[in-house]
Structure 1
Amino acid sequence: MEIINKLNSRLLDKTSKKCLLDIEIYKQRALMYAQMEGAVSVLSDMQADKSYVYKSGTAIELGLSMEKNPAEINSIWEEEIIKKIHPDDRLKKYIHELRFYELMDSLNAESRADYTVLSKIRMKDKNNEYRLVKHRMFYIYSPDNGKLRFALCLYQMTLDQSRQPVSDFMIINAVKGEIIVKDKLDYQNILSGRELEVLKYIGEGYASKEIAEFLSISINTVSRHRQNILEKLKVKNSVQAFKDSFH
């Protein structure tokens, strides 16, 4: 996926000057969040390209494995959790996290702790039904090399479990209580079902020929859908359609 490669290029710390933050301290913090908030807590180490997943009762509700707690993953992507997220929300989550990184990268070090991601996403539960889950994400930067060292993600059941769960993506200034970035464009009400499918594959980096094969349609039909998407969303190219959805 194009968006995953872009995120990896931004997030993973490959600099020669290593961060000296003690990971054990941050593991304890991740454990505390899981225990005190009943959350699934994921600590990702950008320097080591590893994640540590701490699970509570929420993990059982989501049908996640409890065999290893914490679970250690050789990647910054917690695949068992990510695969439970609704495909549309998964792509939005990736794009939203890229925007969060770019925002944080533009701020001075003293201001970064004020900002966080706050989202509601649809995830499959133990019964294979979609439930609304609150997702929060925090970044911790290294005082040694100035690079992003840790990301802490929290997953909790929301209080709003309506019959038609609606996802929501925000970047907030927690100190001021302000929304900095919020979904602007609800393209699900603008595009047809097939156009949404095409847009999803475009966002994942697939070429028109591949999209045509996935959807069992002609390349000409894919091209027509691409053009319709651009006209309906009033953007210059298909990738920009995703970016504009999060301004």
Structure 2
Amino acid sequence: MSIEPIVIETPEQQQKRINAYHAMAVASDNLGQTGDDRDLYWVTDALIAEIQATNPPFACRPGCNQCCYTPPQVSSLEWQALYPHLLRLAPEAQNRIIEMAELQRPLQAVLALKLADALAGAPLRQIMQTVSLQCPLLVDGQCSVYDGRPFSCRSYGFMLSKGEGEARLYGSMVARMHIAHTFTHKLKLPLIEPYTGRITTLNPDETRAFLPQWLWAHLENGAFVADVRPKPDFFAGLSIPPRVNAQMTGNKTLRP
């Protein structure tokens, strides 16, 4: 299935295009593997590229790394797509990432508790609002694995999250204010839920955790392990309160 580019002029045309990409997303059968319309990452990137091309500049753009200071949730399927990009980095870049990850390791128990809260159903924006933590994959102000970055990093600032209430921009306050004050036309943006739902459908037995936790689970003797580990125990060796252990009955989808 392919879509010929057109000039978008009205909200109705925008919505029609969003619906077309939605259909492609629902029909996708892989994540970051084929680089075509069967690939959910390809569909997402194509949609966002069109949104950018048919609107004034967004606050989220190349060179901005504002979203890189809150650890994103990452599914096992996303991590399996990301990890080969990490292993292909030059040794110097890998060492810098490892150094940052190890500097953050004292926060391992804190993130484990927040992950447990998320698995129990607490919204991420609520439990992570007090966390400011540079992504270890941020090297010299840029994402070192940009082509393999997780879905939340791709969609941040360009999609709406409905959650349990009114749809709102999945992005920072700066991004929301920028749209409110810069965009004079009626802007249509896609909902994020059909895309995150498709990731879960593609991997129903998924494991989810925050990105630093995936890094820690793949470090041994100061280096990255050779093979991806899709289901590590993120709570191993940590003192987790009984109330948290009771919550950890399966790995649920984390809510934005």
Q: TM-score, normalised by structure 2?
A: 0.24
Query: Which of the pair is proportionally richer in helix?
Result: 2
Greater RCO, 1 or 2 (C-alpha within 8 Å, sep 6+): 2
Q: TM-score, normalised by structure 1?
A: 0.25
